[in-house]
Amino acid sequence: MIGFLGAAWLWVKAAHIIFVIFWMAGLFMLPRFFVYHQESVAGSSEDARWIERETRLIRIILNPSMIIVWLLGLALALNIGAFSQGWFHAKLLFVLALSGYHGWMSGYAKKLARGEQPLADRKLRMLNEVPGAAAAVIVILAVVRPF
């Protein structure tokens, strides 16, 4: 592939996909953790374990993966001149929304750590579908490039 990445383009693309998988796995796990966390008694040892699990998932997997996905994705986009293409604008919008969802989930973990439970288990289970739907749209936009 021609561009500033040269022969490294395929390696960068592979790394981007690998870290997308890590990020998505974390986004699927976190709301499920929340459902189980909300079943524990606030202040209990089980509550403390869920807080630790959620914090580690966010700090060790989710945040680094999202940052790497963004850096590699922007490098790939610059390499192919994607910023002038309609499919990329749509994809970027969905990735921004998914990043916002990530931030919201991180904030919800902090609320649970404080003993707050603003959402019912059913709503958390429904929120678990957000990353899957977003990923489907993003993949279609990136692979099919419909416009």
Q: 3-state secondary structure string, 79-90?
A: HHCHHHCHHHHH
Cα(2)–Cα(135) distance, integer angstroms: 27
pTM: 0.94
Q: How does pLDDT run across 68-124, given as a tens digit for each residue?
A: 999 999 999 999 999 999 999 999 999 999 999 999 999 999 999 999 999 998 999
Distance of CA 46 to the CA centre of its chain: 26
Closest CA to 109 of 63, 67, 66, 53: 53
Cα(6)–Cα(12) distance, integer angstroms: 10
Please enumerate, by residue number, every residue annotated as part of a binding site for heme. Answer: 16, 91
Q: How does pLDDT run across 28-77, given as a tens digit for each residue?
A: 999 999 999 999 999 999 999 999 999 999 999 999 999 999 999 999 99
Closest CA to 31 of 132, 127, 136: 127
Please enumerate, by residue number, every residue annotated as part of a binding site. Answer: 16, 91
